Structure 1
């Protein structure tokens, strides 16, 4: 796999324009096998990389085989090895639902332990490398200081900029020690928005001083600590650009002026997907590719549509041929992509490593990290742990993904399974919270597992009515810790910042007297002491 990269490299001026442009693109496809469209992009359009989503994933063996098949397509076409990337952040953004599915970054943030974060990154990196994956779009370096944020939330380590930077850098270091490119996101920061850039263009109005003290802090730390790559965000920062309609991804002032020249970042700069509505519904995906490269991006991400992928590649080639985009900008991006392929794909993690061992190790690490991240925010009346000789009543609500970035896997019955067969647990599945009439008379041990209760008045009503029934009540958020704001008077509240299998098991253990529950809230909950 390394011959095309190491022994047959040509000087950049000797590489045809079409090849250089194709190497700057990362594309996605549908299904668990290479499609004709993706094979054609690799062999005829010189595609540089692939991104995996949940739609591409069946099992570890299938992923390992898929990676090898894609690399074979590139090799047989005489192309360099592919960067194969994914978003394996942990928690609600986990493309793989087995070993590498760590708890969410906010759960990891609750441990406040950089050594655990480096261990987490190394563990996930080793598993990804064993599956032929050489780039992870993680860590999230956004500071989640807006509880109303619909797209970041528990994907962030917390609301303290310094701690987000410290923990994010530790996770990145672990990934890179395993030979996987770590790509921090989303520069200059997506933490203080109430709009999802998958659906429209958010605007952050803060002045430069505020950005320097909050949003920029984790990215500066990651750069100083040697992170390989950063991803841009499709958000307007008019205090920098003077334009409320210009996404940072398309701004040379943001990407080249601040990130390259001021911060000194010399790694890979990757665009977020150009099919997100903040780009596709404004300048368009193809023109967005031209503008993002001109602004400073080295890698352009077009995740879904073969037509848009081909159109974007061909549009960039035409832009260079017409003089709209300089070939020198293409050359510098191409050289940087080639450098990281040499560094990580050719000499990084071993894709022939035993994925079985890596997967099992990941599961063990996920359980330990989840146990350390569970946070008992309060237990004023000493309800916990529950009496093991008495039954537990579990009240659960349905939950759906809040953003297009997420993997929508939550089922309230998953929490029931996490308690195991040795405990007597009665499950109350609430289909319609507005209509639910609880059966409790008083004295029962009850767990109410909430999911976005802050935006669901029915869930908050159920919690209050069960509390009024004089039950032994513990409210557990299986998503955002901010749910406590919906019922601040509740005496026992626990959060796991997500619903990964390891986290649900850890929550059940804490409720029943097992180990764990030592996490510390990494965010402030509005209106709650």
Structure 2
């Protein structure tokens, strides 16, 4: 039961005997795939099929497939344009096309949730905070318009979207993969900017992902507390004030912003007590049993609402369809067509990362 509160990473291209052993015991609520899990379309589909076979309750199988530098399938197919590139094109039909193509690609791979769209506002396009190229706009309305088009077309394919990073990473001064960012923005200021995409699109989002940034004005009595572990942010702001009723999950708890301060066990427990429904452990997966033991200290009553929300989402998970190599190849060709329409022929053919000195692990996972 408590295992349903965990979203776990996998080490390689297939499950090891050790992973099969402990995952069968934990029965996690879902999994998150990364580049280290992707060798070929057929191999990924075999992996996701094995994850489903392992679970008594159908799992969420998620991935970060944003486009641009955060494209986990870039080694096995063409890379879609980034959110920033699509927004700068000024053509909503291209964003819609991207949403549909992304969902169809993930469906072929047996993946049922995309950890996108990014709802952060690009205040500092050149800041070293992991967001370069990943945002849909420079103001709230632009993000709402573009991310909304993307998400509505993604879910037409029966793949669920997850808005991130609540309440905002746009003002982060450092990369949370390395250490904890801090923002001094007030709640009133955020309600007029950063939170608008969540109020506008919240009813369309199956899930929202909370960020590892400390908001000094939201948690003045707990210096250094990340939003992802804050009851003021997750429960009082997102749930109570904004009225969000879907699943809430943490960003990866193995990021430096968390792991440098909180031990494994206390971090997942704090995450659920703050109001998250699911805690994400992407890299230090050998600690999953330790995380489960800490979660089992929580009473069934304390996690009942989370389990209900997770069950409600899982009832909407689409049945898998058969993998088709011909279909995969056709979709891959369409992604190149999308690149050409968005970037022009010459730029589209050059698929290397053009964002110099990004220095974030996010594109390499």
Is the TM-score greater than 0.5?
yes
The Cα shift of 1:55 comes to 0.5
Q: Does 1:104 align with 2:82?
A: yes
Task: Give the stretch that moved more between structures: 247-256 or 280-289.
Answer: 280-289
Q: Is the contact between residue 127 and residue 359 of structure 1 (CA under 8 Å) also seen in structure 2?
A: no
Structure 2 portions without partners, runs of 5+: 347-352
- Tell me, in whole angstroms, the C-alpha distance in 2 between the residues paired with 1:211 and 1:366: 37
Aligned residue for 2:214, secondary structure, equals coil
Q: Which of the numbers 327, 335, 355 marks the counterpart of 1:357?
A: 327
The match for 1:407 is 364
The Cα shift of 1:245 comes to 0.8
- Tell me, in whole angstroms, the C-alpha distance in 1 between the residues paired with 2:155 and 2:141: 21
Q: Is the contact between residue 30 and residue 56 of structure 1 (CA under 8 Å) also seen in structure 2?
A: yes
Structure 1 portions without partners, runs of 5+: 1-19, 321-325, 375-384, 386-395, 409-529
CA deviations over 1:274-314 (Å, ceiling 9, x no partner): 11111111122321111111111111100112332211111
The match for 1:372 is 342
The match for 2:350 is none
The match for 2:67 is 90
The match for 1:129 is 107
The Cα shift of 1:96 comes to 0.2
The match for 1:120 is 98
The match for 1:485 is none
- Tell me, in whole angstroms, the C-alpha distance in 2 between the residues paired with 1:277 and 1:398: 22
- Tell me, in whole angstroms, the C-alpha distance in 1 between the residues paired with 2:78 and 2:209: 21
With the length of structure 1 as denominator, give the TM-score of the two structures: 0.64
Q: Within 5 A, what are the aligned runs for 1:94-493? A: 94-97=71-74, 98-99=76-77, 101-146=79-124, 147-224=126-203, 226-242=204-220, 243-318=222-297, 320=298, 326-344=299-317, 348=318, 350-354=320-324, 356-373=326-343, 401-407=358-364
Aligned residue for 2:315, secondary structure, equals helix
CA deviations over 1:235-271 (Å, ceiling 9, x no partner): 0111112133110011111111111111111111010
Aligned residue for 2:161, secondary structure, equals strand
Q: Is the contact between residue 29 and residue 35 of structure 1 (CA under 8 Å) also seen in structure 2?
A: no
The Cα shift of 1:369 comes to 4.4
If you compute each CA radius of gyration, which structure gives the higher value, 1 or 2?
A: 1
The match for 1:489 is none
With the length of structure 2 as denominator, give the TM-score of the two structures: 0.91
The match for 2:349 is none
- Tell me, in whole angstroms, the C-alpha distance in 2 between the residues paired with 1:397 and 1:261: 41
Aligned residue for 2:182, secondary structure, equals coil
When the two chains are superposed, the root-mean-square deviation of aligned CA atoms in Å is 2.3
- Tell me, in whole angstroms, the C-alpha distance in 2 between the residues paired with 1:275 and 1:93: 18
CA deviations over 1:164-205 (Å, ceiling 9, x no partner): 122112211122111111011100010112201111111001
CA distance 1:282–1:63, change in 2 (3 Å): same
CA deviations over 1:349-403 (Å, ceiling 9, x no partner): 53325353144224314433453356xxxxxxxxxx9xxxxxxxxxx99956521
Q: Is the contact between residue 227 and residue 233 of structure 2 (CA under 8 Å) also seen in structure 1?
A: yes
CA distance 1:329–1:181, change in 2 (3 Å): farther
- Tell me, in whole angstroms, the C-alpha distance in 1 between the residues paired with 2:322 and 2:354: 42
- Tell me, in whole angstroms, the C-alpha distance in 2 between the residues paired with 1:308 and 1:55: 18
Between 1 and 2, higher relative CO (CA 8 Å, sep ≥ 6) is seen in: 2
Aligned residue for 1:184, secondary structure, equals strand
Q: Does 1:52 align with 2:25?
A: no
CA distance 1:100–1:340, change in 2 (3 Å): farther
Aligned residues: 356
CA distance 1:187–1:116, change in 2 (3 Å): same
Aligned residue for 1:271, secondary structure, equals strand
Q: Is the contact between residue 140 and residue 184 of structure 1 (CA under 8 Å) also seen in structure 2?
A: yes
CA distance 1:66–1:400, change in 2 (3 Å): farther
- Tell me, in whole angstroms, the C-alpha distance in 2 between the residues paired with 1:100 and 1:231: 27
Q: Is the contact between residue 30 and residue 59 of structure 2 (CA under 8 Å) also seen in structure 1?
A: yes
CA distance 1:109–1:285, change in 2 (3 Å): farther
Aligned residue for 1:270, secondary structure, equals strand
Aligned residue for 2:66, secondary structure, equals strand
Stretches (4+) displaced over 2 A: 98-101, 111-116, 326-329, 353-356, 358-363, 365-374, 396-401
- Tell me, in whole angstroms, the C-alpha distance in 1 between the residues paired with 2:357 and 2:44: 26
Aligned residue for 2:137, secondary structure, equals coil
